[in-house]
Amino acid sequence: MKNKSSNKSLRKADAVKNDEFYTRFDDIQAELNFYKDQLKDKVIYCNCDDPAESAFTDFFKLNFDYLGIKKLICTRYQKSNLFLFADPVRQRGYRLEITAKNKDAKKPVKLNLKGDGDFRSPECIELLKEADIVITNPPFSLFREYVAQLIQYNKKFLIIGNDNAITYKEIFKLIKENKVWLGYDRVKKFHKPDGSTQKFGNVGWFTNLDVEKRHEDMIFYKTYNGNESDFPKYDHYDAINVDRIKNIPMDYKGIMGVPITFLHKYNPKQFEIIDGLNRYSILSGPTKKTKGKYLSQVNGKPIYVRIVIKTKKPIKTI
């Protein structure tokens, strides 16, 4: 269900570029536990992390041997500061690199960057090229641009983002093409620079690392035949509406709209993603025929974003 308070906070963050939400160590550990074998002998890059404050850095330092990491790179972005404007050295970002040779050092050497450490800067892109997997919490307001860069350089990644990103045309297209999917866990709390805690109800992990649940078929029990009234068609889109994932009809061969929570259990061998619906088609946007119409709407009542799907093979039943 849509969390109005969380969405309001995220919109505010996007408007004022208030992207300083620090991920908690426990949330990182809860998700990373699922990927141990995929991290072995890999160069891990955290390109939105101050090594002195980031829980990502702390996690990988503590678990360097356990995970069998080849190398860890963390880069710090130094925000522009008027008081430092006359001192370009103090406006530089820096990076921290940990390998098997220096992982036990009490204070690994910090290497100054030439620029401010922005993930889009040429020197950070060179570090990105070296990396095997990028793992971090990127700025919410730059999520589209951030993911586009990862795809451009063909990188594996595990990053934090809000569920609203699913409705971005650029992100949804990648989900449909099975280039991006959702991880395992949810991230419900973040630390703020002032020491306070910010709660969210719609934030999780986006990845292209292998996730076991994507290989598991969902099992259903409800039928369309005999229960047609439970599955009304949208007013302006030729598909039936399914309000709850567990109620996906096992005997329906056409296309249907389901809540975005479907993506947490989505098996690409069992279902095909056709489209996404909100005020318009996420893939094609508004057309002359649909302009001004709320496509995820039933009997005049708008419904929150729907993922339009179709079965690829017979649905398992109980």
pTM: 0.88
Count CA atoms within 13 Å of residue 283 on its CB side. Answer: 12
* CB 258 within 8 Å of CB 306: yes
Place of tokens 């090229």: 129
- Indicate where the chain has its CATH 3.40.50 domain(s): 8-211
Average pLDDT score over residue span 137-158: 96
The yes-or-no verdict on residue 1 having pLDDT over 80 is: no
d(CA 176, CA 104): 43
Count CA atoms within 13 Å of residue 293 on its CB side. Answer: 18
Q: What band does 84 get if pLDDT is binned at 50, 70 and 90?
A: very low
* CB 266 within 8 Å of CB 181: yes
154-198 pLDDT, tens digit each: 999 999 999 999 999 999 999 999 999 999 999 988 888 787 888
C-alpha distances in Å from residue 304, one per residue of 3, 107, 125, 134, 297: 11, 49, 37, 31, 9
Per-residue confidence (pLDDT) for residue 227, from 0 to 100: 97
The yes-or-no verdict on residue 66 having pLDDT over 90 is: yes
Lowest-pLDDT range of 47-56, 75-84, 126-135: 75-84
The yes-or-no verdict on residue 203 having pLDDT over 80 is: yes
Per-residue confidence (pLDDT) for residue 188, from 0 to 100: 87
Q: What band does 13 get if pLDDT is binned at 50, 70 and 90?
A: very low
Per-residue confidence (pLDDT) for residue 60, from 0 to 100: 95
Per-residue confidence (pLDDT) for residue 233, from 0 to 100: 97
Lowest-pLDDT range of 18-27, 85-94, 145-154, 237-246: 85-94
Give residue 28's identity as a one-letter amino acid code.
I
| Percent share of the chain, pLDDT over 70 | 86
CATH of domain 8-211: 3.40.50
